[in-house]
Structures are given as structure tokens and as C-alpha cells.
Structure 1
Amino acid sequence: MFIWGNARGAALRVLISIASSSAFLLFGYDQGVFAGLIGGDGFKDTFNNPDTTTIGTVTAIYEIGCFFGAIFSFWAGNRLGRKNSIWLGLFIMMVGTVLQTSAYSLGHMIVGRIVTGVGNGINTSTVPMYQAETTKARSRGRMISIEGWFITIGIVISYWITYATSKHSNPDIQFRTPIVLQAVFGLVTMVMLIGLPESPRFLMAKDRREEALEVLAYLDDEPIDSPNVQRQFKAISDALASEANSASGGKIQFKDYFAGGKKQTFRRLCLAYGIQMMQQLTGINAVIFYSAYLLQNVLNIERELSLIIGGCTGLTFFVFTFIPILFIDSWGRRKPLIYGAAGQSLCMMFIAVLVKLSAVDGNDAAGVAAVIFVIIYIATYSGFAWVATPWLYPTEISELKFRSQATALATSANWLWNFVVVKITPLGVESLGWKFFLIWMCFNGVFVPIIYFLYPETAGKTLEELDSLFYTTTKAWQITEKGSRVGMEGEAAGPGSVTDEEDVKENIQMRE
């Protein structure tokens, strides 16, 4: 097995994290770059001053490509494996980048956006799963939060590169240079993947047991016959054996997706889908994609200043998304999501009121305050882990048999609702004005009880322990402690109670 520098243990996990983060940096860059281009002279001159509806279509069609990429992963992810899926996604993104860079008509640009989206849909379905399956339970949240942080780094880079090229006299330089730079991040990730291992859980699922054992040993920097490596190997084996002994055997049938009872497969798929849908309905991409557009057309701020403010919002993302990296594995998942949604709801309320005072009543001070609350909203969204947790959560709650499908389904939800949000934002702003922000206020407010009553805590547990957790209770609010589990009678055990081999065996046996 070829590994860069023969890295083992923490060094190898760091390399995996760098590669995963590079893929998400590309994701963030691709998300943010169009926000600064659509209002520029280079874009308008090349594409004959497209109207608002057309701008919304060209921008949002990317999400449709991402949606189909996620659906492709639902079908092919378990066949290709984690690494091959990421390679395929990156290659497709490179093709899409070439198509966008060479576009001189809206039809050509739309095709390029769709193709790039397909590749990104595959990657965003696969990368968090690959990271989760190769990291330790105690740091799983941190590692995927780092990926989320790199999304914001990509957004920041895209904003400032767009600003740097916006003054160039050549319209091609203005908008083609930021687009073509996507290829740099994709190539870095492709090269890094060459010297990284496949997911041991995927290898086990494909009965490549010796390879899986070797990868587990590499990831823990221990001999193959060490108790820790053997214990992990046995836990994964037992989980797979339990799935193979289910009513439909090891092969997934359509009815299996709707299984209830102790398996709770359908419930878990709904939770995975829901968390990604909620991420989009916070309204975050209405702000990211159209930050410059909103500032110009709602608050009547001149284009150059709107680009600078857009860059500052990107920097806010960059700074505050770092916070969950430090605390998410101690905070858990539930509390940050609940507090974040509540704070985001309040921010949207204040933004709506202040935009009304500024745009309708002509109060300049209110316009400044509206910009401040946009920044506070982004700080709340990123600081309370809404960037990373929706990408992490589906990988945690899904059983190995359905993990590829669950993460693909969740990712398809992200991109479908992303499309809806990005498509309606220009029309919503034009038609509703300040009232448009009240929609996001209501959504964020509703998410607080949804998360409290439906979403269990997943921090501090191995993926196999989380699999068995769903066999014990359907009451999410009873599973709120990091590293805790609920016993057979529904009473919560203490933190860290599922840690040794006997407990793992007991949990696996509960399935049978």
C-alpha cells in the first residue's frame, strides 16, 4: 500500500484531512465566485446584460448539477468506493471549469455550470463520509469542522480574487480568471489522493478484509495484531454480519429504505435529509450568492463598496467557522444547532426591520445597521457549527449498509433546496423587499423545536456505537450527552459507557 511518506497514525489522518479540506475549499470557492461576477461589467458585456430571472437561472443551475451528482452517488457510491468517487467528481469538475472558462454564450455557460455541479455533487456526497470513516470518534466533529472551515476559506479567496480582477479593462480577465482558478484546488486534491488509503469500512463491506485490517493499523499506528486494531476490526465485522442477517440479507432492496422497528432506517434517512434541507432554509446561501447583489439593489450601495463588504462577510465566515473546530466535540451537535437557529432567527428579524427603515424610509443609519446584522447573522451561523454539522451528521447516524446512500440523499437535499433558495432570491428581493427576510426568520425559528425533539446527540461515539444507539430509543431528547447511550429500558447511561469490547458486543447483539 502506497502512503505519502509512509505516514501512520495522526500524520496519516492529517493528510486525509488536508485532502478532504482541499476538496471542500474548491466547493467553497465554486460557491462564492459567481456572487462577485454576476454584477460585473465583464459578465454583463459578454452575456448582453442578462435580466434578473436569467441571472438567477445561470447561478442556480449549478445546484441542479450538484443534485444529479448526489443522485449518481446514491446509485454508484458503494460500487466505486470513496476514493474513486472523489477522483471522478474532481475530473468532472475540471471539465466543467474548462467549459465555463471558454463560454461566450449563456447556453455554453449553463452547460459548464451543470457539469461542474455534477462533479461537486459527487464530492460533497463522498468527502465527509470518507473523512468520518477514517478518523477517531473523539475528533470526528473537529475533522469535518475543518472541512467546513475550508469552505469559508474558498469563499473568502473567491471574493477577493473577484474584487482584484473587477477593475481590469479586459472583460475576459474580469470573469474568466476567477473561474479558471478552480482547477488549481482540484488538481491539488487529485494528487493528494494518490497516496491515501481507501476507507477501511468500505473495504470491509467489499470483503477486502486484509486490506481493511492493514488500513486500520496504519490509521492507529499500531501492529495489525494489536488489541485496539482487532477490536475495531471485530466491531465493523459484527455490524456487517448483523446487516447480512437482516430479512433481505446483504443486498439492499427498495423496501429496506422504509424499514422501521429497531432498525429505524427510514427515520435515519429522514433525519439525514432534513438536516441538510434545514441548512439551506436558514437563508445562508441567499446571503452568500447574492451578497453583492443584495447590497447594490436593496441598500443601494455602490458596486465597489458592495464587493468590499462582501469580502468582509467572507472574512467573518473564515474567522467564526474556526470556533467549532475547537469545541464541537465537547459541545456536541444538538446545542450549537439549537442556539444557532435561535440566533439566526433573531438576526433575520432585525435585518428585515432595518432594511425597511433604510430602503423604504430612507434612513441611512439603518442601512449601516442592516449590514452589521448581516455580519452578525453569518457569525452566528458559522460560529454555532451550521456550516459543518449538516455535512457531518448524516455520516454519523447512518448504518454502514446505507451510509453511502444516506449521505448522497442528504447531499441531494442540500443541493435541491440550495437551488430553490438561489433561484427565488432575486425575485423574492424584487417582489417582497424587506419582507423577504421574514421568511428566513420563520424557518430558523421552527428549526429549534425540530432539532430538540427529533435529532439525538452523536458526539463522542464510534460509528458502530451510533448504529446500535438507534436500536434503543426513538426519543431524541433522551440522547443528549456526549459519549452516552440509552439502555435497554430507555434510561441514559453515563458518558463514555460504550467503550469496551463487551459493550460493543452487547449493542450488536441487540440488533439480532
Structure 2
Amino acid sequence: MGSNGDRHVGAFNFAIVLALCLGSLTYGYSFSVTSTTLGQPAFFEYFDLSDDESSPSYAFTNRIIGGLNGCFSGGGFLGAVFSGWACDALGRKKTLLVATPIGVLGGVLQGGSVNLAMLLVGRLLGGFAVGILMVLVPLFQSEIAPPATRGFLVSQHGVVVVFGYSAAAWIGFGCYFSTTPAFQWRFPLCLQALWPLVMLALTPFLPESPRWLIMKNRTHEAWAVLGKLHDAKISSERSSFAKEELYQITHQVAEDQELARSETVWTLFTKASYRKRMICAFLVMFGSESTGILVVYNYSVLLYEGLGFTGSIPLLLAAAYVTVACCGNYISSLLVDRIGRRTSLVIGVTGCGVGLIFEAALSATYVETTNHAGLSAGVFFLFLYISFYGCFVDATTYVYCSEIFPNHIRSRGMAWSLAILFLSTVAYLIPAPTAFAQVGWKYYLLFILLTAICAPLLWIMLPETKGLALEEIGEKFGDHVAVRLTQLTSDQTAELDKVIAENSGPQSVHVEMTSAST
């Protein structure tokens, strides 16, 4: 027994992970497109905004820029809260069918905007859609991934999020050279509708989460999905592994559902093991955003302009910046199952803080000068900063928060996690244009201080979860685990052997939904 460390990833399993990543791409591109839009002079001209800091109307421009990000993040918060309910009530698959049409509508409204109100409403709807997707995608991926490779598979969400950043940056850079002013900013905004549209078309072909099916007492449907995910038809070993996982899930779900009968939403904060999870999720999401990552990226074009770069160069640097981040996220997906989640986060947050210290010092010294070496060093430390974030923090946050909650509260836990992320972005992004205009490099000091606080807290508070089945992680937070496949009792071993013997073919399986506490 105990093959729950199996590293085999079936083709069907990997295909589902990648299909779900279209939701990741929707978020990454939709969020990032604002950054490149702010580098298009035609955008400012069309909406009669000023990009001249000495202009009296520049303060209004800053409020609009802050509003664009505020609407997106506010919509994301509402979408995350909605997703916490929808994923359980409707199922993972039907929730996708709610989010994707809204994402399409948001992209169409932004690309076709004739006034600022229409643009802001489009950002709000786009944010709502990605709020749902940002909860749903890593949650869904974690529920179909084998324990030993769950970090790698769920990390693909982070990889593709940043790929979306990169795609938006390079498309924006290319559109800068268009001779049609409207095309420069309308085409990138319209393209937001493509990714959720493709996902909408693929959703009918996706399976439902086996864990959600078991929670709804649809065990045979869950087995059909698990059998495909683990290539149960290929060998008896893989079939046995799939049945072991089904055995473990059903027994843990039975125990969790017994507890859930007496639980309310407030139990998330009053029960010690749940409260510890909520605190850990808060620290992970708040700590990652408190590195200033979205502020630095979303205003990167403006930052490069502040460092003295002009024309298309800021857009080029922004595109190169997110390309480094994309590569870093893939490196992270290879590391996270080896070095662990907690170690990865602490290394990354610390490295970001160090990068910001040098960036602040160089900005204080060389901004508004013509010192080429000093300005180039400022660019270098921005790239060093994103390397630490990409390689150790970005994807890991989604991996950790998607796996620490029990099955019956996972969607609510992820909703809480992403709500913290979006609220943090609202708090940091809205004042950022004004803060950079008024205090400049000193705004970095806020994030330097926060990273210095968050890094040791992450090390102290976060239990390590690498390599454990989702149903076994609860023990790290003080919960009872119904079945440990690596430590089965004699009665559990006999019961599982009977299940496997009686169901030697991969087509059907029978597992009683009873507590496995014996």
C-alpha cells in the first residue's frame, strides 16, 4: 500500500490541468493589459488624459489610472467571494460556465469603450470573472493532481498567469508601432475576450472534480474520473493507486461531512484548525502582495520612464521583465515539490525585500539624472527582484492555499485567500500613481518594511505540506485524518484489499461511504 507518492501524471490529467490554465491566462492577460495600455499615447489622447506630470489635469489622470486597477481588483474580490459559494453549490465545472461568458463581456466592453464609464464597467466585469477563475483553477487542479506532483501541476497556474502578463506586454509593445492610433490600445483590450471564449468552448469536455462528486455521493462518477486521471486501464498498479485514492477520499469525505453538519461559515474562524489555515492563507497572500509585486509590474512602464527611458523602450523593458517572471515561474514549478512550499516562500519574499532595498537606494540617487550606470543598475535590481518573486513566490502561493483546506471547505478557503489577494491589490494599486508622483522612491519603503515582517512570520507559522495527499494535510493543522495510505491499520488494509480484489477491472468500484475510524 501507500503508493500515494506516485509521480506518474497521465496524459488526460495533464490535459485537464492545461485546459484549466486558460482561466489562468485570462487573469494574467486581463490584469497585465492595463500596464501596456498606459504606455500607448493614443489611449491618453482618446480619453483626453494627460501623461505630462506638470499638467494641472495630471491628478485626474492618476485617479483614472487608479480607478482602472481598483475596479478590476474590486471585481476580483466580489468574484472570489461568489466563487466560494458557487464551487460547492454548482460544482467546479458549472462555475466555469458562469465565469467565462462574463469574462468575454468584460473584454468586449473594454475594447469597444467609447467613454471612461464604459471602460471602468468593463474592468469591473473582467475583474469579477477572473476573481471566480482565480479561486476555481488552482482548487480544481489540486483536486485532480497526484500528491507527489501536485506542486508541479498546480504551479502551472502561476506559470500561465505570468505567461499572460508576458503575452500582454509583448502584444502591447508590438501594437505601439501600429500606424492606426485606435488599434494601438483597442486590439490588446479586445484580445481579453479570446481566452475565456476558448475556455467556454472547452468546458463541456472537462470532467467534474472527483472530490466534489464524492461530496455529492456520486462515487461511481468519481471513480470514472479517477480511473481516467490515473490511466487505470494501462496497468494493475495504476488501477490500484486510483482505488487507494478513492478509498482515502471517500472515508475522509464521510468524516468531514459528519463534522460539517454542525459547522457554519463562522466555524472557519472559531475552530482552531480552520482558523490556523485562514491565518496561514492570509499570511501567504498578504505576504506575497506586500512585496509590492503588482505595484512594481502594473506601473513598470511608468517606473522605467521615471528612470529616464523613453519611447518604446519602457514597453520593451516591461515585456522582458514579465518574460523573466514567466521563466521563473516554470523554475518554481520544478522546485516546489523538492524544496517545499514554506522554504520557497521565505527565500522569495526575503530576496524581493533585498532587491527593493537596492532599487530604492538607486532610485533615490539617480532618478532625474543622466547617470547611465546608475539608471541601468536600477533596471538590473528590478529584474533581480522579479527573478526572486517568479522563482520562489508566485506559483507557490496558489499551490499552498489550494491544498491546505479540507475538501468540504476548500472552495471557501480559496475564496478567502483570493479575497485577501484582491483586497491587497486594491490597497496598494489605487494610491500607487499618486504615491510615486508625490513621494517617489519612498513608496518602496512600505514594501521593504512589510517583507521584513512577513518573511519570519511565514517561516514560523506555515506547516510544510509537500508530498502529502490532500486528505493527509489536515494532520499538520491538528485535524483527524481518517485514512493514511502509508500507515494503514490492519482493518483498513483488509478493507482496501477487499475493494481492490472485488473490483479488479478499472470500470467500476464500490466503496462504502462510512467512517474509517475503526
TM superposition score normalised by structure 2: 0.87
Q: CA deviation at 1:367?
A: 1.2
Q: CA deviation at 1:25?
A: 1.7
**CA contact 1:471–1:511 (8 Å) conserved in 2:** no
Aligned to 2:189: 179
Aligned to 2:299: 290
The answer to whether the aligner puts 1:373 opposite 2:381 as a matched pair is: yes
Q: 1:40 to 1:462 in 2, by over 3 A?
A: same
Aligned counterparts of 1:451 and 1:149: Cα–Cα separation in 2: 22
The answer to whether the aligner puts 1:242 opposite 2:270 as a matched pair is: no
Q: Deviations over 1:215-272 (max 9, x none)?
A: 11111122699443332222112212212332xx4364233222334xx112212222
Aligned to 2:268: 257
The answer to whether the aligner puts 1:15 opposite 2:2 as a matched pair is: no
Residue 486 of structure 2, aligned match among 479, 496, 499:
499
Aligned counterparts of 2:517 and 2:80: Cα–Cα separation in 1: 30
Aligned counterparts of 1:346 and 1:504: Cα–Cα separation in 2: 54
Aligned to 1:491: none
Residue 353 of structure 2, aligned match among 340, 345, 365:
345
The answer to whether the aligner puts 1:27 opposite 2:12 as a matched pair is: no
Q: CA deviation at 1:32?
A: 1.2
Q: Deviations over 1:425-458 (max 9, x none)?
A: 1111112111111211111121221111100101
Q: CA deviation at 1:64?
A: 0.6
Q: CA deviation at 1:187?
A: 2.4
Aligned to 2:58: none
Q: 1:229 to 1:321 in 2, by over 3 A?
A: closer
Q: AA paired with 1:326?
A: L
Q: 1:504 to 1:215 in 2, by over 3 A?
A: farther
**CA contact 1:343–1:377 (8 Å) conserved in 2:** yes
How many aligned positions are there? 476
Aligned to 1:89: 99
Aligned to 1:490: none
Q: Which structure carries more relative contact order (alpha carbon 8 Å, separation 6+)?
A: 2
Q: 1:453 to 1:9 in 2, by over 3 A?
A: closer
Q: CA deviation at 1:48?
A: 0.8
Q: Deviations over 1:35-72 (max 9, x none)?
A: 01123222111111151122111233111111100011
Q: CA deviation at 1:156?
A: 1.2
Q: CA deviation at 1:197?
A: 0.9
Aligned to 1:492: none
**CA contact 1:235–1:504 (8 Å) conserved in 2:** no
Q: AA paired with 1:44?
A: F
Aligned to 1:229: 242
Moved more, 66-75 or 125-134: 66-75
Q: AA paired with 1:299?
A: L
Task: Give the fraction of aligned pairs with identical amino acids, expressed as a percent.
Answer: 28
Aligned-CA RMSD value: 2.4
**CA contact 1:65–1:116 (8 Å) conserved in 2:** yes
Aligned counterparts of 1:57 and 1:288: Cα–Cα separation in 2: 17
Aligned to 1:314: 322
Residue 127 of structure 2, aligned match among 92, 114, 117:
117
Q: CA deviation at 1:511?
A: 8.5
Q: AA paired with 1:32?
A: S
Q: Secondary structure at the match of 1:168?
A: coil
Q: Secondary structure at the match of 1:254?
A: coil
Q: AA paired with 2:276?
A: R
Q: 1:12 to 1:266 in 2, by over 3 A?
A: same
Residue 214 of structure 2, aligned match among 180, 197, 204:
204
**CA contact 1:498–1:504 (8 Å) conserved in 2:** no
Q: 1:9 to 1:58 in 2, by over 3 A?
A: closer
Residue 148 of structure 2, aligned match among 138, 146, 150:
138
Q: AA paired with 1:153?
A: F
Unpaired segments ≥5 residues, structure 1 = 1-7, 474-484, 486-496
The answer to whether the aligner puts 1:405 opposite 2:417 as a matched pair is: no
Listed as ranges, the matches of 1:70-89 within 5 Å are 70-89=80-99
Q: AA paired with 1:70?
A: A
The answer to whether the aligner puts 1:387 opposite 2:394 as a matched pair is: yes
Q: 1:503 to 1:509 in 2, by over 3 A?
A: farther
Q: CA deviation at 1:499?
A: 2.3
Q: AA paired with 1:398?
A: F
Q: Secondary structure at the match of 1:276?
A: helix
Q: 1:252 to 1:81 in 2, by over 3 A?
A: farther
Q: AA paired with 1:312?
A: A
Q: AA paired with 2:330?
A: F
Q: AA paired with 2:290?
A: L
Runs of 4+ more than 6 Å apart: 503-506, 508-512
Q: 1:505 to 1:348 in 2, by over 3 A?
A: farther
Q: 1:129 to 1:97 in 2, by over 3 A?
A: same
**CA contact 2:463–2:476 (8 Å) conserved in 1:** no
Q: AA paired with 2:489?
A: E
Q: Deviations over 1:367-411 (max 9, x none)?
A: 110111000100111011x11111111221101111010001111
Q: Secondary structure at the match of 1:28?
A: helix
Aligned to 1:482: none
**CA contact 1:468–1:510 (8 Å) conserved in 2:** no
Q: Deviations over 1:160-219 (max 9, x none)?
A: 111111122322101110011122222222233222211000001111111112111111
Q: AA paired with 2:410?
A: R
